[in-house]
């Protein structure tokens, strides 16, 4: 066994929104041909943890139900949102920190491993865990009234919400206690918003002024970081012949920001005529005036589809995502951003958070976004939650078409 210790540890960030720093101090080189059993002991002065090396592999832990348990450790089988499985050994005195970590990282404790009495008990408890998962198929959880709870009720327009001239302002937001998805419940026809000067109500009459204001923000704008993570994910495709469809292109600030950085064919599709004219006439972009419509797109197939804060406005997000899937080429990608309802709901004035605005028919959680993509024949490659420069709480995901 040889130790290669670094003079300075390599530090890198992991977890949602890169919230945790990892320090890499070096490597331990082991020889698995050695017949002897080698041992590494990690100690914090009060408690020890042994890691065993053998000629066939490793003892990752001492005995879970005896040695670890007697030394004040609890052992858990944990699954993350990508369905990766981990064994986590937790100090009895730090269970609160562990549970906060699990909640923030949206992980699920499948079972506690140090309490099993026998094989049958192990299988029985794992089956119970499977039945109590966070998967709600096709967002049909609204039909399961036992899991649905009212979160917010509105009888008038919130202070910071655009004025759409709604006379009978009554609505509520409910939440699925299983997958943490939020549904808007009301009889207001939000489709009219997009046909009656949505761009002017939400962005003002001078669209160019709003566009330039955002561009001048540079690294302080949400779009700046959106473009960076998007291009970083697709960096190996930058100089290839790629077709991108940006659905709900709005101000076209996303397409405008990437048009000189890639050699792709860019197309936007947008229902608001003012946004369409602006994108075409002021920015020279190919913007189609329509909702997502296969005929309007001449049955074209795309390599990538981007949805920047669009899916929350759609009455049936699953159907919408399936339509996007059909517009993608084989192994095509989707990039999606949606409001993070779960994080927003934990803020002091949660009821008045922008995430729960009247035009948001759905507000997602990590679980419900992940479930929605899986239900629409996508494989999630990367999913994360962030707080943007504007203060918005956002979820984003990159996913690949699998059917």
**Backbone dihedral angles phi then psi of residue 361, each to the nearest 5 degrees:** -80, -25
> Over pLDDT 70: what percentage of the chain?
97
User: Rounded distance, CA 36 to CA 292, Å?
Assistant: 65
Tens-digit pLDDT profile for residues 123-182: 877 777 655 556 678 888 888 888 999 999 999 999 988 888 888 999 999 999 999 999
- Give the pairing type, strands 302-308 and 243-247: parallel
Res 193: pLDDT: 77
pLDDT above 70 (res 34): no
Question: What region does 150 belong to: left with phi over 0, alpha with psi -120 to 50, or beta?
Answer: beta
Map out the domains of the chain as residue ranges: 2-131, 137-401
Which pLDDT does position 135 carry in this prediction? 65
Mean pLDDT of 14-25: 91
Model pLDDT, residue 133 = 57
pLDDT surpassing 90 at residue 299: no
Q: Which fold has domain 137-401?
A: Rossmann fold (3.40.50)
Q: Which of the given ranges, 26-35, 44-53, 235-244, has the highest pLDDT on average? A: 235-244
- Residue 5's nearest CA partner among 37, 23, 27, 30 is 27
**Confidence tier at 96 by pLDDT (50, 70, 90):** very high
Q: Give me the mean pLDDT over the 12-27 stretch.
A: 91
């Amino acid at each position: 066994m040889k130790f290669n210790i670094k003079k300075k540890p390599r530090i890198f960030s992991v977890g949602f929104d890169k919230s945790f720093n990892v320090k890499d101090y070096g490597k331990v080189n082991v020889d698995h041909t050695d017949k002897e059993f080698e041992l590494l002991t990690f100690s914090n002065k009060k408690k020890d943890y042994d890691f065993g090396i053998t000629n066939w592999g490793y003892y990752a832990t001492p005995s879970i139900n005896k040695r670890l348990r007697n030394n004040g450790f609890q052992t858990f089988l944990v699954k993350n949102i990508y369905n990766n499985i981990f064994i986590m050994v937790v100090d009895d005195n730090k269970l609160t920190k562990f549970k906060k970590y699990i909640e923030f990282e949206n992980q699920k404790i499948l079972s506690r491993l140090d309490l099993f009495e026998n094989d049958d008990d192990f299988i029985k408890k794992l089956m119970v865990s499977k039945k109590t998962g966070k998967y709600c198929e096709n967002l049909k959880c609204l039909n399961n009234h036992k899991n649905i709870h009212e979160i917010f009720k509105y009888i008038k327009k919130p202070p910071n919400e655009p004025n759409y001239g709604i006379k009978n302002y009554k609505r509520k937001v409910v939440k699925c206690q299983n997958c943490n998805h939020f549904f808007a419940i009301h009889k207001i026809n939000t489709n009219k918003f997009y046909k009656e000067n949505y761009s002017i109500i939400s962005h003002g009459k001078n669209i160019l002024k709003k566009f330039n204001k955002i561009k001048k923000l540079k690294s302080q704008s949400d779009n700046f970081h959106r473009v960076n993570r998007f291009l970083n994910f697709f960096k190996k495709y930058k100089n290839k012949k790629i077709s991108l469809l940006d659905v709900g292109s709005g101000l076209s600030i996303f397409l405008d920001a990437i048009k000189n950085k890639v050699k792709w064919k860019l197309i936007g599709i947008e229902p608001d005529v003012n946004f369409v004219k602006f994108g075409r006439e002021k920015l020279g972009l190919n913007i189609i005036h329509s909702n997502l419509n296969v005929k309007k797109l001449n049955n074209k197939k795309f390599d990538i589809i981007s949805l920047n804060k669009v899916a929350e406005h759609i009455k049936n997000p699953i159907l919408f995502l399936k339509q996007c899937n059909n517009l993608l080429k084989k192994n095509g990608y989707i990039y999606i951003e949606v409001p993070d309802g779960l994080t927003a709901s934990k803020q002091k004035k949660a009821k008045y958070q922008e995430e729960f605005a009247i035009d948001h028919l759905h507000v997602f959680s990590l679980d419900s976004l992940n479930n929605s993509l899986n239900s629409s024949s996508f494989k999630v490659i990367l999913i994360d939650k962030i707080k943007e420069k504007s203060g918005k709480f956002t979820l984003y995901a990159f996913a690949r078409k699998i059917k």
